Every structure is written in C-alpha cells, then in structure tokens.
A = this chain, B = another copy of it.
C-alpha cells in the first residue's frame, strides 16, 4: 500500500517529461521514421535543462527502440516495427474507445489462454487460483483488495498455461486496464455487481477444475464481456466468437 501511494505520488522528473514530449512528437508523426532529432545541445537549450537530462530521456527512447543514436552523426527516429518494447499511453485510455479496444485484446488473449490452462493446469495451479477466488468473495470484497484478488485470479490462470510470455502479456494488459479503471470506478455502485462478478469467476474456475478447455474459454469470454460492460465499455461481440 505504501508502495502504491509512493508510486502515484512520484513526481514527474525532467527526463521523463522530455522523453514524453519527444515520444509524443514521434507518435503523432511530427517526427517521421528516418528523421534526425535535434542535437542534444539544441534540445537542452530548447527545454531549458542540462544535457544530462536530455541524455537520460534519449536513453529511455533508445531502449524502447524508438530512436537510434549514432556517435558522430546524431539520433534518428526508427520505424514502429523496430520497437523493442510495448508501452501503452495511459492518457489515451481515458478515451472509452481505446478502452474498448484494449478489452478486445484482453478477450483474445485470455479466452484462449484459459483453454490452454484448462488443458495444462496441475493441482498447485488450481490451489493458487482458488486462493485468489476466495479472497475475492471473502472479507475483502468491498476493498481495493478485491480488485487485487481479481487480477491475481487472472494472472494465476495465465501462469497455469506454463507459458511465461502469455503470463507477461496478460499481466500487462490487465494492469493497464486496472489503472485506467481506478479513477473512473467511484462512479459505479458495484456492490450489487460483486455477486455477478464472483459468479463468473466461479464458472471459469469450475471449467479449469474439470479440465474442459472449451468451457473455460467460453466462461472467460463471457466474463470479460461482462467485466467490460460493468465499467461502461460496450464490447462488440465479434463474429469469431458468435460463430462458435
């Protein structure tokens, strides 16, 4: 808890601000791939910061594969395909439309992963998942802890696939959604919705226990559509799902 408060209260450092500025300039297309960035000195003068700050900002963009710096020449914008990292702009997620897209991605990832987990889970996995489920419906149901338990439930399922990349991706997407929901959440009196939410999780868990991939996938899909609705995001039922 202390960690979370600290994380939220973290001041925006100068390198972070410079990096964000350049990043947006690249994303928006003002700096096209292949274009050369201003020199470090020019940037430091432009932003009124030391060259050290500019370098830390550039180091970050470079680590992400957004730009490439070459000694003696300058720094150049790279093509989006060359990105070495995935990073999601949380500001953009305030737009419901983007939120909807992210839920769609989550649905794709988690539905099939639930099927995989149903086929591969062992008893240890089931115990971890059950523990998270109990926390959700337990005494923490009205607290922030309930949401933590919810996410933990999903992460443990992802872990049960035995695929660390799947685990990483699902954890990431879920966390992005959590942060986005966090501030918009107070508006919804979701106390009466908790029962529905827990019920959906129970159905997923039962399918995992039964080792039924198809049922797990269906239950997960239904849950994510429901979860999206509960936070005000209307998830379009894709034809792919309806076709099954």
Contacts and interface: CB of A to CB of B under 8 A. Distances in A.
Contacts of A83: 171-172, 175
A62 to B, nearest CB: 8
Contact of A56 (B56, B166, B239): B56
A239 B6 CA distance: 44
Contact of A112 (B7, B112, B214): B112
Nearest to A88: B165
A102 B165 contact: yes
A151 to B, nearest CB: 7
Contact of A175 (B82, B118, B217): B82
Interface residues on A, range: 35 or more
A35 interface: no
Contact of A240 (B52, B217, B239): B217
A122 to B, nearest CB: 15
A243 B104 CA distance: 23
Contacts of A105: 163, 165-166, 169
A206 interface: no
Interface string A27-63: 0000000100000000000000000100111011001
A6 B240 contact: no
Contacts of A7: 68, 78, 82
Specify which of A88, A151, A240 lies most central, judged by the most chain B CB atoms within 10 Å of its CB.
A240
